[in-house]
């Protein structure tokens, strides 16, 4: 039973860590659209 609690708590800690890093990367602009400008040049009418 103790191992189950440790596994649940560690998985919650790990998921919260990844969520925090993901939110930080969104705030810093890591997921901004980098392809639209290059595609716009190719398909410009």
Indicate the average pLDDT of the chain: 88
Residues 28, 32, 39: CA angle, nearest 5 degrees: 155
27 near 33, Cβ under 8 Å? Answer: no
CA separation (Å) from 19 to 3, 6, 23?
24, 20, 6
Query: Per-residue pLDDT tens for 10-31?
Result: 999 999 999 999 999 999 988 8
- pTM over 0.75, yes/no: no
């Amino acid at each position: 039973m103790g191992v189950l609690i440790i596994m649940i708590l560690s998985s919650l800690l790990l998921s919260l860590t990844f969520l925090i890093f993901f939110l930080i990367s969104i705030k810093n602009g890591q997921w901004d659209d980098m392809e639209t400008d290059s595609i716009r040049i190719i398909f410009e009418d």
